Amino acid sequence: MAETATATGRKVKFIITRRERPEAAPFTEEFEVPYRPNMNVISALMEIQRNPVKADGAKTSPVCWESNCLEEVCGACSMVINGKPRQACSTLIDKLEQPVRLEPMSTFPVVRDLVINRERMFNALKKVKAWIPIDGTYDLGPGPRMAESKRQWAYELSKCMTCGVCLEACPNVNDRNSFIGPASISQVRLFNAHPTGEMNAAERLEALMEEGGIEGCGNSQNCVRSCPKGIPLTTSIAAMNKDTTKHMFKQWLGL
Amino acid sequence: MKGNSYLPRKIHSLLGVIPLGLFIVEHALTNYSAYEGGKEGFSDSIDLLNSLPLVLWMEIFLIWLPILFHGVYGLYIAYQSNINTGRFSYGRNWAFTAQRITGVITFIFIAWHFYETRLQVALGNVSHEELGQHMNSIVSDPLAFTAYIIGVLAATFHFANGLWAFLVSWGITVGPRAQKVSSNICMVIFVIIAALFLLSLFAFRGDEFASAAATALSSVSVG
């Protein structure tokens, strides 16, 4: 089947920003990949991996990238595609302008080629305690129930896959700024909305009120425009602004 | 709460609206009296302000110190931000960038404006009665007039858009609809206050505010 498609001779041109080591200087390489109907960026990268030959015919090393689920739920294959950060798996070639430009999300440390290290996002989740503590020395019994109307919007927040697209889009996530980024702020809203998680709400709010916390948001709102899962990130941030402001006054007044 | 960036940023946000936002509205209204009431109206407004009790203390604690903190901390906030409107050319991202650029312009403009007006009054070079004439001589220079227009538009935008951001940062406007409505209201505030300032700037250029000597000369030549 692949043969019939390639017989048409159509090629898709790629310009990929690469680097060999984390500290190495980036460079670009051009590739021409045989077109197949419905191909996505990952399948094009797989084609380059099988046949690592540049557009000028010279051999090169295969391009490295990261991916797992291939259905936009794991967040591993985030990269900058034609200038915008998004998931390589759900980005269809048919919907892209050519040549297709692939770059790593350089807000994060680049490991090699398109592979980045998103460790800072996981550290941020640890910092804001984005979990529900239920472990104890005895059975705590069933937790309180959650209203269905609340569950519905909380579910939207739970779609976050820590992909890093919102951090890449945010103008305040950079080397001069300690802002933790939109994703973990939205997770505070999620876990504080949970009837059991709510019992530790103050701890999470206080984490957002530390250096590099929620005050780092400058309201550019690029995050909500970029999120591949359509999470209402700016609503989450504003809601946490409200809760941290209330918490600040409660602390002052000793309530 | 330990010493961290949360509190200074919160204070920065608050000071921008109270007292600085209130001051910019007061300043626009006072200046507008030059357009509405001419030389007499303007000097009445100045007399009214200077008849307020503790006026110097109000200037120090409600205007100068807040501007100094808001301005210096604001420069640091601007330094901490990237400009990425090239990749993300969304309206709010442009406003984010404009907020930082107009903030820097406003800070420089206010320093210059303070030196030319309030400091000269403090040094005794200009009296309260001469302020109208003084403004006339400043804005008669096309370069200074252009600088004033840019400065006034930058300051007004910075206030109006900052008011929008204040409402978000304090958790008053949470959802997208509330933020959309407040954005429209803030842009109306921008247009109104900018109009007040611009009208007064044009009023200051009028013959009425020209110095007595210059007025006498022009009336002689006309007569």
Q: Given an 8 Å threshold on Cβ–Cβ distance, is A242 in contact with B174?
A: yes
Nearest to B204 by CA among B3, B35, B15, B28: B35
Q: Given an 8 Å threshold on Cβ–Cβ distance, is A214 in contact with B88?
A: no
Q: How far, in Å, CA of A244 to CA of A202, rounded?
A: 9
* Residue A210 forms contact with B (CB below 8 Å): yes
User: How large is the greatest C-alpha to C-alpha distance in chain A, in angstroms?
Assistant: 75
Q: What is the pLDDT of residues B50-88, one digit of tens each?
A: 999 999 999 999 999 999 999 999 999 999 999 999 999
Q: What is the dihedral of CA B84, B90, B96, B100, to 10 degrees?
A: 60
Predicted confidence (pLDDT) at residue B44 exceeds the cutoff of 60:
yes
Phi and psi dihedrals of A87, rounded to 5? -85, 130
- What's A20's DSSP letter? S
- Taking the model in full, what pTM does it have? 0.92
Average pLDDT, chain A: 95
Secondary structure E strands in A56-140? 78-81, 84-87, 100-103, 110-112, 115-116
Residues of A in contact with B80 (CB under 8 A): 172, 174, 176-177
Residues of B in contact with A225 (CB under 8 A): 88, 90
Question: Between B80, B95, B174, which is nearest A172 by CB?
Answer: B80
Residues of B in contact with A222 (CB under 8 A): 84, 88, 90, 92-93
Q: How far, in Å, CA of B185 to CA of B207, rounded?
A: 36
Q: Given an 8 Å threshold on Cβ–Cβ distance, is A176 in contact with B2?
A: no
The predicted model gives A99-110 an average pLDDT of: 97
* Residue A106 forms contact with B (CB below 8 Å): no
Other beta carbons less than 10 A from residue B11's beta carbon: 14
Predicted confidence (pLDDT) at residue A118 exceeds the cutoff of 60:
yes
- Residue where the block lists tokens 């109006």: B160
- Residue where the block lists tokens 């680097």: A19
Q: Given an 8 Å threshold on Cβ–Cβ distance, is B171 in contact with A241?
A: yes
pLDDT at B3: 52
3-state secondary structure of A50: helix
Q: What is the pLDDT of residues B187-199, one digit of tens each?
A: 999 999 999 999 9
A241 CA: distance to closest CA in chain B (Å)? 5
Q: How far, in Å, CA of A94 to CA of A138, rounded?
A: 56
Nearest to A101 by CA among A114, A83, A116, A76: A83
H/E segment holding residue B106: helix B91-116
Q: Given an 8 Å threshold on Cβ–Cβ distance, is A219 in contact with B81?
A: no
pLDDT level of residue A134 (50, 70, 90 thresholds): confident
Domains of chain B (ranges plus CATH)? 6-217 (1.20.1300.10)
Nearest to B30 by CA among B148, B188, B197, B170: B197
